[in-house]
Amino acid sequence: MHLTSPAKLNLHLHILGQENSGYHLLDSLVVFTNFGDTLTLESSAKFELEIRGTFAKKLQKHTPSTENLIEKSVMIFSALTNTKPNYKITLEKNIPLGAGLGGGSSNAATTLKALQQFYQTQIDLSQITSKLGSDITAFLNVPTPIIIRETGNEIIIPHFNIPTCYILMVNAGQHCSTPEIYKNLEMKEFSSATEFPHQFKTTKEFTDFLNKETRNDLTDPALKLKPNISRTLEAIASQKSCLLARMTGSGATCFGIFETITHAQTAAQEIKTTHPEWWVVQSTTL
């Protein structure tokens, strides 16, 4: 089985409040992209996980195999379904780590959906994802755009059609720790949940609304820890026909939405030329 494990983008992210437990309450429109990691499953005498690709070494360096979300997902799935993990999973790691793109969460959810299909079981996968992290549950909805609320465990399917977005994702090689970003979050007044119109006729109409009515509340704390993120945002926003430039999740990746695929491709080439050391990928939303 060959599967794509897509990256996600938070088109907006509002902090609505904070529970006594310390967890923050969110409101975020999440879309998935054509770009992502690749997972291959094949028969094997025992469970194996092989990691290749651009960010393989960094993942292996910072994440012990026992902490890898793919391996955790496999073990919990096997225990709940009473199946033996007699297969090898090869992960082609293309999504940068600590980038706000949800790479690890996507890998876990994609693995679970593949195993559910392979074993033809009707097990509720959210039973597993809720044990691993609420953001993983969001990826069970790929490719449908979703709104996540509360601590990320409430999933809402938007009542409006989201236009196809031509996007550019840029990371200047920085890693953001989500817990550290939240520690630096200081809000005198919390945001409110976004009420979206019933339709958007064009991508520009959609991005005009996002620019006017929404934001990413984690941008300021991210900039305090990683000031150079501002350079990434400026590089994207300065490109011709950029309709929206914003940071995704808790950073450090930033993205731009463009009116046409040609504009997005041209912007990607220009930033690659100006900043050859940066990670730059052009894609579209699913």
Q: Is 61 a catalytic residue?
A: no
d(CA 158, CA 28): 11
- Do strands 154-156 and 146-150 pair parallel, antiparallel, or not at all (unpaired)? antiparallel
Tell me which of 27, 37, 135, 217 is the catalytic residue: 135
DSSP bridge pairs for 150: 26
SS3 state at 60: helix
Beta strands in the chain (DSSP E): 2-18, 24-43, 48-52, 87-92, 146-150, 154-156, 166-171, 242-247, 254-258, 279-284
d(CA 10, CA 65): 28
Which is nearest to 134 in space by CA: 153, 112, 106? 153
CA distances from 210 to 11, 38, 180, 205, 260 (A): 8, 31, 26, 9, 18
DSSP bridge pairs for 170: 254, 280
Tell me which of 8, 72, 93, 226 is the catalytic residue: 8
Q: Is 8 a catalytic residue?
A: yes
d(CA 187, CA 15): 9
Which runs of consecutive H residues, i.e. helices, occur in 146-256?
178-183, 203-213, 219-225, 229-237
Which residue numbers are catalytic? Answer: 8, 135
